[in-house]
Structure 1
Amino acid sequence: MPDAGPTAVLPRRPLTVGELLDSAVLLLRDQARLLVPLGVLLALGEQLLLHPLRVLAATRPPEWLPDSDRLGTYWLLLAVGAGTEAAIIALLGNPAARAAGAALLGRRARPAELLRPARWVASLLFAAAAGCAVGLAGLAGPAWFVAYALLGALIPALVVDRVPVHRAPGRALRLAVRGGGRAGGIRLLGYLGWWLLRLAVGLGAYHGLELLGLFDVQAWALPIATVCWVAVNAVAYPALACLDAVLHLETRMRSEGLDIRLSRAPAGVPEPVLLAVRR
């Protein structure tokens, strides 16, 4: 039986891939009051940011596919979109990681607690850096997979492990490649699963409205498509941030014995000290 938290968000033991995905969804459910509204704001900002590039690439909603003579601009649009996704997921990783840490210690963090200042400036800088790295890698095509896989622990290492700012990137890279790149591979698997779900729900909602025939959907294609994509991304981005958070803690349990350390910790030790990496 899981032994951490009233809703078993994150058991104190190494998990299977399926259990990790389940834990991420449970964490999102517990913190939906905070993470989903944040996801709405960030997803809407992303749609506004990408709109000029979509116009330049002559893409059409809801699929945003380009004309054949605008493939260069479309490639740039894909890279920028990949970068904004990575930045949003990293930014949501700050409250998600702190919520996962609290769940591991057997309690549910309140939204007000997760909004308190906790290395937010560094998180913003790292989120921007992650977005730039993934966006630049996206220009090179398959390099996107490597960049995305390696950066999942960046924000959790900063806010949960509480390593110095200059050490967080190196620690994130080391955790991603441990055990034959297990954490990086699971992060890619989670992204792929949510990408397929986003396509199914986003396109399905749009074309479902077309089939109903209640009004001229084509005349309102841009705002309807924007609402559809904002809605699905507002759930998908927090879910991926929650996956990063639980995957980070599970990797520490699997490779650093975090679960054993917690079981042997004396009573009264503050939570940040329990979860911080010993230096």
Structure 2
Amino acid sequence: MRGEAAGSRRQTAILPLRGTTAGESLDSAVALVRQRALPLLSMAALLAAGEQWLLTGMRRAVPLQPPFFLFDSWNFDAWWRIVATGLATEVAIVTLLAAFAGAAVAPALLGRAATHRELFRRTPVLASLLVAAVLAGIAWPAAYAGLVAVIALYALTGLATPILAMERTGNPFVALFRSVALSARGGLRVARIRILGYLSWLAIRFALGLGWIAVADLLAWDVTEAGWLDWAVPGAWVVANTAAYAALGCLDAVLLVEARIRTEGLDIALNRSRARGEDETAVLVTAR
């Protein structure tokens, strides 16, 4: 009965129920963003705007020379503090967006209809906020002391909030440990793809965030003296980061599914559940 009821709400699944390549994982993340564009991009835009408000206040307090985000040898310590803050906030933002993506990935994989409101109800907000705060608190000193530690942190902990949402793990710290374990399997496959995704979107972000300055240079505008840089620079990065953060959060949810398919036989368990007419969501909640 449960299988029949679930089947009555079926739609086309947008995620493949098989192991995927790195490129396919990135494509699947974008497909999930498209399916849940309104809530994901709205949340990403709000969080990205808050991040730029924080960083802009820090830049003005120094002050750094325009265009602010470039290396400033005269104020290296202040510039590096801002870089570390930016990396820490990115970790927190992607972690929060991945929680909603973790709730959205199950219906996307199973081909189930689910409203945005239903997904918000399934998102573990308080536990995700705790994980984001813990990771940001670790990421800032790790980034300030050097990039190696924060890269390792980012690579290994991205599955935590999708685990909370999809597997309904009640303990945030259990989810963090499971994220590290899954990310380290298969020769650090998840960790490597997560870094690849970050670098891919970093290139796109720089193109969107800096491309307009290159155009201004071609038009012989002196951007270093332009008064509108105070709002144009943060605005450009909000636009660039909105798309990137949403896609990176969805990539984490996609990688959780992919890791479970490769290392825990999730695809086999789901196909067996379908053949028996059982409720497939119970398989997603049960981690091996």
- What displacement does 1:84 show? 0.1
- What displacement does 1:241 show? 0.3
Change (3 A) 1:117 1:24: closer
TM-score, structure 1 normalization: 0.90
Alpha-carbon distance between aligned partners in 2 of 1:107 and 1:117, rounded to the nearest angstrom: 14
Match of residue 133, structure 1, among 138, 142, 155: 138
Correspondence for 1:99: 104
Correspondence for 2:27: 22
Q: Is residue 2:211 matched to residue 1:204?
A: yes
Whether contact under 8 Å (1:56, 1:73) holds in the other structure is no
Unaligned runs of 5+ in 2: 1-9
Whether contact under 8 Å (2:13, 2:110) holds in the other structure is no
Correspondence for 1:161: 167
Match of residue 245, structure 1, among 240, 253, 256: 253
Matched AA of 1:149: A
- What displacement does 1:277 show? 2.4
Alpha-carbon distance between aligned partners in 1 of 2:251 and 2:287, rounded to the nearest angstrom: 24
Match of residue 274, structure 1, among 260, 283, 286: 283
Match of residue 37, structure 1, among 28, 34, 42: 42
| 3-state SS of paired residue (1:205) | helix
Match of residue 230, structure 2, among 210, 222, 246: 222
Q: Is residue 2:270 matched to residue 1:262?
A: yes
Q: Is residue 2:185 matched to residue 1:178?
A: yes
Alpha-carbon distance between aligned partners in 2 of 1:223 and 1:31, rounded to the nearest angstrom: 29
- What displacement does 1:60 show? 4.1
| 3-state SS of paired residue (1:115) | helix
* 1:86-125 map, 5 Å: 86-116=91-121, 118-125=123-130
Unaligned runs of 5+ in 1: none
Whether contact under 8 Å (2:13, 2:112) holds in the other structure is no
Correspondence for 2:73: 68
Alpha-carbon distance between aligned partners in 1 of 2:195 and 2:252, rounded to the nearest angstrom: 11
RMSD: 2.3
CA offsets per residue over residues 222-247 of structure 1, 9 Å max, x none?
11111111011111000000100101
Which stretch shows the higher mean deviation, 18-27 or 112-121? Answer: 112-121
Change (3 A) 1:205 1:107: farther
Alpha-carbon distance between aligned partners in 1 of 2:69 and 2:76, rounded to the nearest angstrom: 12
TM-score, structure 2 normalization: 0.88
Alpha-carbon distance between aligned partners in 1 of 2:18 and 2:253, rounded to the nearest angstrom: 15
- What displacement does 1:132 show? 1.6
Alpha-carbon distance between aligned partners in 1 of 2:12 and 2:214, rounded to the nearest angstrom: 37
- What displacement does 1:146 show? 0.7
| 3-state SS of paired residue (2:209) | helix
Q: Is residue 2:151 matched to residue 1:151?
A: no
CA offsets per residue over residues 229-270 of structure 1, 9 Å max, x none?
101111100000010010111000000001111001132416
CA offsets per residue over residues 141-161 of structure 1, 9 Å max, x none?
121211110111110111112
Change (3 A) 1:227 1:213: farther
Alpha-carbon distance between aligned partners in 1 of 2:112 and 2:212, rounded to the nearest angstrom: 36
